[in-house]
Amino acid sequence: MSHALEQALIALLGPDGVSTSEADRRLFASDALRPSRGLPPGQPAPGPQYVVWPRSAADVQAILRLANETATPVVPYGGGSGLMGGAAAFRGGIVLDIRKMDRVGAVNPDDRMVRAEAGAVLQDVNAALRAHGLILGHDPWTVPVATVGGTISTDSLGYLGAAYGSMGDQVLGLEAVLADGTLIQTRALPRRATGPHLERLLIGGEGCFGVITAATLRAVPLPETRRLLAFSFPSFVEGHQAVCDLFHMGVIPAMIDFGEELLSAAPEGWGEAEPGAEMFLAFEGPQQMVDAQVHLAEQVLVGHDGERRPDAEATAFWERRHAPAERFQRQRAESGTAPYLQPHNGPRADFLHLSLPTSQVLPFRTWCLAQRTAWGVQIREFGLWNRPELLSLVLVEPEDDGRLPAAADAVLRRAQDVSGSMEYVHGVGVRLAHLMEREHGAGLEVLRRIKRELDPNGILNPGKLGL
């Protein structure tokens, strides 16, 4: 640990802006990734030397200049709810906690834009927008925790993704700091044709190319009405076909959450599986449009053997959609330790989120079911989120015999082999970095060349994205 660097950071941020305490270093060692999900062998436990709290873009510029001069790794940190290790300090260095940069700027309802600093929590941005009859089009399960910068950096998808797309689709302009301290700002407009959009390099970039300090985001009107529906289906097949027909007709809900549970060992806290396939949908907008969409959707879903469930079930699902984030906040506060460093209990499980050609989804499910015995794992769930091509599955390893990583990799590779992608929602981090060359081919070397040009000393979130 460099005493000179520590003193320089304290001179910049003040004594309360820098910590080297064991407690803070353990708390900020990682995001929500746990080693039970299966990491490359020999991965060291994460742990920074410093945790720092900038209050402005100028602070971030100064921190990065110091880090660049001393070749000290810097890991940007938002809400800490990421699941891929994108905010884990596996190579030590500085964890840059941006949550004190949380100001939400003035809202202009006519422009339907809001500017927010990177550390602003989505829940707080929504509170500022609601006063003007607006809301963000991004509603992940982590709304009470996740920050603007973190969700942009992973290009996350939320519950309203069917209607509004991912967090990256909400970005109109970005402010960011490069490794050498250079501040860049892109013009915040819905449309421009003046060359490549620099913000696209930072959306999903996990802080590897620059540290996002603020963003101008698209806002959408609060819906006049929202209708929530619940349906059950005999199996995943009928439900998937129903979703395909909805999209083919142009009836696009704001949300689709569809899952089929299979009998398997239950990881601790999950409860027992209840076989069957359930679908929750949300339609929102002007009353007449919503009424028409709901009418058409009911016809399609019933035509595929869907059975309407009580509206109370859909309401309960909607109201508890952010509960996992609240539980994460509570557990993190109680334990005082990053999830990666916490002991693991119960069966190991992994969550895979694949983007596939729609025509490949059902054959892919059939292939997984046929392979599970050879893999030595169980499949707990298949699901769709918001689009018919976005397939999720949960693998469970009943016995702790080390088979889960190989099984997960087999699924991910198969997705790539059928012209799909290995992840659609959580980013790559370190968890999927070993498959990035397979994912991008020669394109990965292009990204590495850009990384070397912008960050020649390799200080920005090293080891992530396979860069």
- The third-level CATH classification (topology) of the domain covering 225-309+347-417 is Vanillyl-alcohol Oxidase; Chain A, domain 3 (3.40.462)
Q: What is the pLDDT of residue 273?
A: 66
- The third-level CATH classification (topology) of the domain covering 104-221 is 3.30.465
Could you read off the pLDDT tens digit of each residue along the chain, which spans 467 residues? 578 999 999 999 999 999 999 999 999 999 999 887 767 667 788 999 999 999 999 999 999 999 999 999 999 999 999 999 999 999 999 999 999 999 999 898 999 999 999 999 999 999 999 999 999 999 999 999 999 999 999 999 999 999 999 999 999 999 999 999 999 999 999 999 999 999 999 999 999 999 999 999 999 999 999 999 999 999 999 999 999 999 999 999 999 999 999 877 767 666 666 677 999 999 999 999 999 999 999 999 999 999 999 999 999 999 999 999 988 888 888 889 998 888 877 778 899 999 999 999 999 999 999 999 999 999 999 999 999 999 999 999 888 788 999 999 999 999 999 999 999 999 999 999 999 999 999 999 999 999 999 999 999 999 999 99
Tell me the CATH number for domain 3-97.
3.30.43.10
Which distant-in-sequence residues (6+ apart) come within 8 Å of 120 by Cβ? Answer: 101, 102, 103, 104, 147, 148
Question: Whole-angstrom Cα distance, residue 422 to residue 410?
Answer: 11
The residue to which tokens 């806290």 are assigned: 269
Q: What is the pLDDT of residue 270?
A: 67
The residue to which tokens 């979130």 are assigned: 461
In the chain, what is the greatest distance between 2 CA atoms, to the nearest angstrom? Answer: 70
Strands 113-117 and 104-108 turn out to be: antiparallel
Residue spans of the domains in the chain: they are 3-97, 104-221, 225-309+347-417
> Whole-model pTM?
0.95
Mark 358-376 as b/e (b = at least 16 C-beta within 10 Å): bebbbebbeebeeebeebe
